[in-house]
């Protein structure tokens, strides 16, 4: 399914599409089969503590869902759709699949609860538990296959039966005579038992599925008449109603019945005290468990169908297919049935308390889903994108943060090992989807979050004074489209070493007949992004289009003055060496412009080609020809950044200085002191046997890997002489960087 797809579905109202399936799932098997036992084991205070903590997670998640769902057109997919359109496809996919699995496990959880109650009333059916579970499941599958509208109609009948059974439970407690004495006796943990955090955790895991049912309505998002309004209203109504009913029953159970009886079989206590109306309690239990199973059997396949429709994992694409005008997920529903039957078979064949074991699995996956929903809402709210304008205003990003933290804490509290396994599954799916590099981001809210963080930090950074201690390379590379200029980018990346920001700028002339400037510029941007991916180097492309020939130098002048990310303006301009004599004067003029703008000039001459640059092919050293601190500090720092790359780590740095023979010792001490001050390991070489710099330079650095050589930009009238001298010195020499420092670096910092 894509955002442009025409919406299909049944167009249910808030009550029938959200509140009804949610409340029927909330008031399910736990209320009949486990609530009284929890009161008996932990006392009223312990049971209420579990209820309040569980409901706090439900309320936080409900508020998060309301915030997200009222801010975007909501289509099919429930939690998967909301997360993927907020945090992106990676999070949406990993959570969508795990949530689908948890919902597929929830179906047999409810059916097993039904079986347990039936066997309690009819012990003769105990040997046939598999069939007692399987037959109702197949009947529910048949109802779902007929159509979701028929399933919703059936839930009206179930809702009526469930309501009557709750009334009978309350009346049974009232007529049994609740008392303050009994409430006081049942207030705390069972006498004779030590309060154990592990016991509390295990019972929390059993109870928590009771508050997860509100997502049953969210699962129906694609079949709602007005999903934006219905999801928020129906979800919060269901959470509130469920909380009130559970709280009332906990207090009534504790004030009415002896706790040993509750621990032994809370369901038996209800049946015996209901007298002639026990049939309604049994019917209510059957209605609650089977309606929860039916609601989940309807909702879970829609999550898988929506995920498959986004075509994220090709093997699952087949499940996107729907049947009829309402797009019923036939194949996804069949898979859910198969998973449910497998779980039921495992449960009936394995010894132990199957209901509790399945409840813990459902709880763990659901907690992961809730946590990501809360994170999604918090990110949306905190990022403050102008597009984030939810109709639901009772939400703050701190609520989402609490919900996420509470979910993770609860997961660790219940079963740290199980949580770790769930986390590994989610992380694995996240990485799989991320590697597919999806073209669509579904309006990823993380972009807004990152934007907000960057905006704040840029403003804060701009208010701080610049200092040489915090200097980082912000390199602006002047590169064209040919392969020669790829060497500039590769060397620029090595010198940047992920410590600063790398920008590659291309200035190009656009003739009128080539089409609009905007189209040509966009196309060039894309070409540069493609090149970035092909050579494996991240950089920001910048394209300057001129409409007249000969405007290159004027455009460059403007670029140097205007290109900036706030305080992150480029401090190094990296370019090649002109091969065209006609460009010498303009080239040297641009060097003077860079100097006047207090930017560092870096000229790359005789570069290696291709991947050889990253692999440091030569065994020679990195030579720095020292002629003073003006350029020397920057050269030392750049050489250090170069050897910080793993492939260049073993390449030695060599400081070279020319000096008269009688000053050798003094010069060697000076170079040694420089190395120590700069905290850079370097070999020292003092050249005394040559008086001519060019001769010494070509003799001692002929076999170097890279050479750093300082220069001063020539004055007007000296351009050609400067060009000829450098060209003569560097002919047939190794890769050389000519460095003209702006004085913003200090090796002592």
Q: For the chain, list the domains and their CATH numbers.
A: 14-445 (1.20.1740.10), 468-740 (3.40.50.12370)
Please tell me the predicted confidence (pLDDT) of residue 513.
60
What is the percentage of the chain residues whose pLDDT exceeds 90?
A: 13
In this predicted structure, the answer to whether residue 196 has a pLDDT above a threshold of 80 is no
Please tell me the predicted confidence (pLDDT) of residue 518.
77
Please tell me the predicted confidence (pLDDT) of residue 354.
55
In this predicted structure, the answer to whether residue 730 has a pLDDT above a threshold of 50 is yes
Mean pLDDT, the chain, whole residue set: 81
Structure tokens that stand for 258 in this block: 């002896």
| Average pLDDT rounded to a whole number, residues 150-159 | 82
Secondary structure of 454-496 in HEC code, one letter for each residue: HHHHHHHHHCCCCCHHHCCCEEEEECCCCCHHHHHHHHHHHHH
| Average pLDDT rounded to a whole number, residues 117-141 | 87
In this predicted structure, the answer to whether residue 253 has a pLDDT above a threshold of 80 is yes
What are the Cα distances from residue 555, in Å, to 503, 505, 563? 16, 11, 11
Q: Is 549 helix (H, G, I), strand (E, B) or coil?
A: coil
| Average pLDDT rounded to a whole number, residues 633-653 | 86
Q: Picking from 262-271, 615-624, 649-658, which range would have the lowest pLDDT averaged per residue?
A: 615-624
Please tell me the predicted confidence (pLDDT) of residue 6.
43
| Average pLDDT rounded to a whole number, residues 93-100 | 80
Cβ count near 688 (within 10 Å): 15
Please tell me the predicted confidence (pLDDT) of residue 405.
95
Please tell me the predicted confidence (pLDDT) of residue 748.
61
Tens of pLDDT, residues 398-433: 999 999 999 998 888 888 887 887 778 777 777 777
List strands edge to edge, sheet with 501-509: 540-546, 501-509, 474-478, 572-575, 600-605, 736-740, 706-710, 622-625, 653-658, 683-687
Instruction: In whole angstroms, give the CA distance from residue 210 to residue 47.
Output: 13
In this predicted structure, the answer to whether residue 301 has a pLDDT above a threshold of 50 is yes
Structure tokens that stand for 41 in this block: 């084991």
In this predicted structure, the answer to whether residue 672 has a pLDDT above a threshold of 80 is yes
Secondary structure of 270-310 in HEC code, one letter for each residue: HHHHHHHHHHHHHHHHHHHHHHHHHHHHHHHHHHHHHHHHC
CA angle 167, 140, 335 (to 5 degrees): 135
Structure tokens that stand for 478 in this block: 């002047």
| Most confident segment among 108-117, 463-472, 692-701 | 692-701
Residues in the chain, total: 749
Instruction: In whole angstroms, give the CA distance from residue 369 to residue 371.
Output: 5
Q: Is 369 helix (H, G, I), strand (E, B) or coil?
A: helix
In this predicted structure, the answer to whether residue 437 has a pLDDT above a threshold of 60 is no
Residue 311 near residue 438, CB atoms below 8 Å: no
For residue 669, how far is the Cα from the chain centroid? Answer: 54
Instruction: In whole angstroms, give the CA distance from residue 727 to residue 89.
Output: 54
Provide the whole-model pTM.
0.62
In this predicted structure, the answer to whether residue 467 has a pLDDT above a threshold of 70 is no
CA quadruple 305, 306, 307, 312: dihedral, nearest 10: 110
| Average pLDDT rounded to a whole number, residues 43-58 | 93
Please tell me the predicted confidence (pLDDT) of residue 442.
55
| Average pLDDT rounded to a whole number, residues 657-681 | 83
691 Cβ partners below 8 Å, 6+ apart? none
Please tell me the predicted confidence (pLDDT) of residue 5.
42
| Average pLDDT rounded to a whole number, residues 589-593 | 88
| Average pLDDT rounded to a whole number, residues 463-471 | 69
pLDDT band at 312 (very low <50, low <70, confident <90, very high): confident
In this predicted structure, the answer to whether residue 379 has a pLDDT above a threshold of 60 is yes
Structure tokens that stand for 217 in this block: 């309505």
Q: Is 50 helix (H, G, I), strand (E, B) or coil?
A: helix
Please tell me the predicted confidence (pLDDT) of residue 2.
41
| Average pLDDT rounded to a whole number, residues 720-742 | 89
Tens of pLDDT, residues 254-270: 999 988 888 888 878 88
Instruction: In whole angstroms, give the CA distance from residue 261 to residue 265.
Output: 6
Instruction: In whole angstroms, give the CA distance from residue 390 to residue 68.
Output: 7
| Most confident segment among 230-244, 551-565, 633-647 | 230-244
Tens of pLDDT, residues 160-177: 998 999 999 999 999 888
State the burial class of residue 268 (Cβ atoms within 10 Å of its Cβ: 0-12, 13-18, 19+).
Answer: middle
Instruction: In whole angstroms, give the CA distance from residue 200 to residue 187.
Output: 15
Q: Which helix (H) or strand (E) holds 573?
A: strand 572-575
In this predicted structure, the answer to whether residue 343 has a pLDDT above a threshold of 60 is yes
Please tell me the predicted confidence (pLDDT) of residue 45.
92
Instruction: In whole angstroms, give the CA distance from residue 484 to residue 652.
Output: 27
The label of the residue with tokens 């000096």 reads 659
In this predicted structure, the answer to whether residue 7 has a pLDDT above a threshold of 90 is no
Instruction: In whole angstroms, give the CA distance from residue 217 to residue 212.
Output: 11
Which phi and psi (to 5°) does residue 688 adopt?
A: -125, -5
Please tell me the predicted confidence (pLDDT) of residue 4.
37
In this predicted structure, the answer to whether residue 313 has a pLDDT above a threshold of 90 is no
In this predicted structure, the answer to whether residue 565 has a pLDDT above a threshold of 70 is yes
| Average pLDDT rounded to a whole number, residues 238-260 | 93
What is the percentage of the chain residues whose pLDDT exceeds 70?
A: 87
Comparing CA positions, the residue from 99, 316, 127, 313 lying closest to residue 216 is 99
Instruction: In whole angstroms, give the CA distance from residue 318 to residue 336.
Output: 14
Which phi and psi (to 5°) does residue 437 adopt?
A: 50, 65
| Average pLDDT rounded to a whole number, residues 540-555 | 76
Parallel/antiparallel/unpaired status of strands 540-546 and 622-625:
unpaired
The string over 314-327, giving b where at least 16 C-beta atoms fall within 10 Å of a residue's C-beta and e elsewhere, is eebeebbebeeeeb
pLDDT band at 741 (very low <50, low <70, confident <90, very high): confident
Q: At what angle do helices 227-256 and 148-175 cross, to 10 degrees?
A: 30
658 DSSP β-pair partners: 687
């Amino acid at each position: 399914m894509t955002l442009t797809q025409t919406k299909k579905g049944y167009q249910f109202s808030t009550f029938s599409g959200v509140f009804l399936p949610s409340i029927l799932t909330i008031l399910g098997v736990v209320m009949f089969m486990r609530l009284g036992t929890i009161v008996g084991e932990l006392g009223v205070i312990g049971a209420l503590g579990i209820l309040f903590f569980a409901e706090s997670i439900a309320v936080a998640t409900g508020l998060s869902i309301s915030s997200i769902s009222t801010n975007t057109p909501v289509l099919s997919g429930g939690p998967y759709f909301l997360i993927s359109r907020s945090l992106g496809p990676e999070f949406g996919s990993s959570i969508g699949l795990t949530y689908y699995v948890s919902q597929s496990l929830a179906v047999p959880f409810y059916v097993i609860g039904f079986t347990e109650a039936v066997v309690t009333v009819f012990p003769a059916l105990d040997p046939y538990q598999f069939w007692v579970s399987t037959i109702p499941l197949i009947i529910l599958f048949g109802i779902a296959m007929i159509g979701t509208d028929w399933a919703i109609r059936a839930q009206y009948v179930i809702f009526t039966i469930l309501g009557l059974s709750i009334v009978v439970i309350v009346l049974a407690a009232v007529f049994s005579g609740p008392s303050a004495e009994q409430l006081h006796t049942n207030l705390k943990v069972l006498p004779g038992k030590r309060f154990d955090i592990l016991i509390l955790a295990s019972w929390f895991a059993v109870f928590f599925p009771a508050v997860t049912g509100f997502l049953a309505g969210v699962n129906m998002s694609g079949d709602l008449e007005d999903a934006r309004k219905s999801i928020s209203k129906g979800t919060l109504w269901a959470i509130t109603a469920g909380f009130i009913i559970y709280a009332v029953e906990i207090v009534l159970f504790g004030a009415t019945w002896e706790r040993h009886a509750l621990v032994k079989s809370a369901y038996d206590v209800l049946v015996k005290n209901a007298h002639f109306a026990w049939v309604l309690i049994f019917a209510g239990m059957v209605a609650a468990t089977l309606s929860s199973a039916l609601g989940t059997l309807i909702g879970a396949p829609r999550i898988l169908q929506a995920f498959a429709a986004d075509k994220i994992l090709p093997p699952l694409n087949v499940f996107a297919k729907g049947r009829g005008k309402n797009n019923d997920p036939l194949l996804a529903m069949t898979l859910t049935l198969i998973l449910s039957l497998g779980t039921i078979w495992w449960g009936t064949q394995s010894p132990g308390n199957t209901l509790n074991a399945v409840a813990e699995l459902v709880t763990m996956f659901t907690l992961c889903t809730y946590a990501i929903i809360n994170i999604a809402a918090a990110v949306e709210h905190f990022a403050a994108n102008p597009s984030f304008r939810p109709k639901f205003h009772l939400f703050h990003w701190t609520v989402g943060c609490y919900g996420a933290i509470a979910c993770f804490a609860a997961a660790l509290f219940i079963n740290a090992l199980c949580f770790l396994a769930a986390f590994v599954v989610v992380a694995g799916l996240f990485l799989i989807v991320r590697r597919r590099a999806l073209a669509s981001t579904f309006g990823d809210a993380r972009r807004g979050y990152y934007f907000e963080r960057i905006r704040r930090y840029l403003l804060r950074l701009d208010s701080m004074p610049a200092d040489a201690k915090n200097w980082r390379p912000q390199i602006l590379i002047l590169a064209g489209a040919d392969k020669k200029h790829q060497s500039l980018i590769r060397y620029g990346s090595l010198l940047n070493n992920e410590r600063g920001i790398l920008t590659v700028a291309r200035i190009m002339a656009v003739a009128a007949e080539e089409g609009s400037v905007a189209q040509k510029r966009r196309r060039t941007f894309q070409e540069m992004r493609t090149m970035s991916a092909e050579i494996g180097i991240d950089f920001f492309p910048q394209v300057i289009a001129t409409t007249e020939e000969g405007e290159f130098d004027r455009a460059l002048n403007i670029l140097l003055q205007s290109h900036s990310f706030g305080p992150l303006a480029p401090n190094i301009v990296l370019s090649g060496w002109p091969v065209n004599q006609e460009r010498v004067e303009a080239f040297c003029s641009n060097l003077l412009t860079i100097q006047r703008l207090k930017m560092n000039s870096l000229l790359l001459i005789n570069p290696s080609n291709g991947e050889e640059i990253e692999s440091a092919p030569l065994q020679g050293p990195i030579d720095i020809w020292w002629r003073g601190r003006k350029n020397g500090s920057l050269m030392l720092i750049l050489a250090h950044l170069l050897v910080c790359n793993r492939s260049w780590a073993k390449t030695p740095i060599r400081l070279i200085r020319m000096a008269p023979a009688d000053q050798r010792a003094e010069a060697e001490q000076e170079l040694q002191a420089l190395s120590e001050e700069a905290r850079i390991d370097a070999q020292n070489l003092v050249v005394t046997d040559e008086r001519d710099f060019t001769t010494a330079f070509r003799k001692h650095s002929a076999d170097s890997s890279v050479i750093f050589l300082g220069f001063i930009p020539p004055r007007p009238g000296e351009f050609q002489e400067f060009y000829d001298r450098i060209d003569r010195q560097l002919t047939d020499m190794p890769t050389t960087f000519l460095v003209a420092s702006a004085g913003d670096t200090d090796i002592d910092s």
